Structure 1
Amino acid sequence: MFLTIEKLLDPGEVQRLQEIAARVRFVDGKATNPHTTVKQNLQADQSTSDSSEASSIVFQAFRRSREFEDFALPQMIAPPLLTKYGPGQHYGEHIDAGEIIVGNQRIRTDLSCTVFLNDPDSYEGGELESRLGNRTMMYKGQPGDAIVYPSTTYHQVKEVTKGERLVAITFIQSRLPDSLLREILYELGEVYAYEADKLSWENRNRLEFVQQNLKRLWLR
């Protein structure tokens, strides 16, 4: 299951991240995946204060997003990382690593997330393409929009042919590793949010009984 979040970032945050991206030092994207043969992009040098500020801006946006919290049930979020693609750069089809190491912590990658930071009309190509069975889905969001998807998904970033693609990426360890169980809780939550006021008080309580006790049973 995929989730698109419109306007995860507000315009001021997008502008600030664009300003940081204009001056931060970028390094070869293989710095965090030296053995890959399909990754051709640039990422912000994580040792700089500018990179830390950018990471904090995106992280705080996640924390205030009820939609993200309900969908991902995050236990840990890797520091979001500014990433860019210029003409000729791309990231070939892959699935994300099962875990990443951040400092002394190991983060299991249940979910991946891309946050779009510049106007999609300012560059050509650069679509995030995900493979679902024999179908592919393409994403190219507006500045501040995000997409969250299972890290087990085959996906790629298509070659940028003109302009520059600027995004922030991160990985999430969920309190509920099983993607089907996460989807069940998310759908129950959506039904409760949209339909509870239309139900009798008795049935509303019964729906909440199911929802809350599944959380007790499954969440860690």
Structure 2
Amino acid sequence: MSAVRLRGEHLTRAFGAGTARRTALDDVSIEVAAGELLVVRGPSGSGKTTLLTLLAGLDRPDAGRVRIGELDLAAASDAEAAQLRTGVLGFVPQEFALAPLLSARENVELPLRWAGVPARERDARVTDALAAVDLSPHAGQRPDRLSGGQQQRVALARALVHEPELVLADEPTAQLDSATATRVMDLLAARAVAGAAVVVATHDPDVIARATRVVTLADGRAS
């Protein structure tokens, strides 16, 4: 059996206080193995984004824990967390989170800079990553000069440029036409074939059809 790269155990997360308190995720457990493309499906508000944010270590659960490989995120040191972000994890957030003053090329280059990759290798890998998402002509443009779909593809290239062992993608095809969405899913599927664990949150039936396994969220609960 393939090694489990990601494990979320009994994850619960709520927001607000008093009568306004809302449980976004309620006792959800999930495992993803190397070579697997897992789709988390569900309507808006079902808890998909909350789950991916917890799995990426960008937020902490109120209960439960997340393990990436042998690393417990709650117990990780700053150095371990930095190594996770630059070496192991590739994350495509729903809102892209691009650096506004950097060009598309510079945004994609960031994980390689943080990892200390030499300049010549960085240049080659960024060039390949932008070509893979069909953005080579826009490499020098800042995010505010790009469409939403183009920004989404920059975020994807940034997430994949360092060939991570774990990829988390939140609605990565939401603003794309069908042909571009297929190309994006081809890239994510290729990472799984290469041995990465890939998790995609979506309600797109074409993306769901590409999954090796599907988890459904509804009102913060998994089935």
Provide TM-score, normalisation by structure 2.
0.25
Q: Greater strand share, 1 or 2?
A: 1
Larger RCO, structure (CA 8 Å, separation 6 or more): 2
Rg (Cα) greater in structure: 1
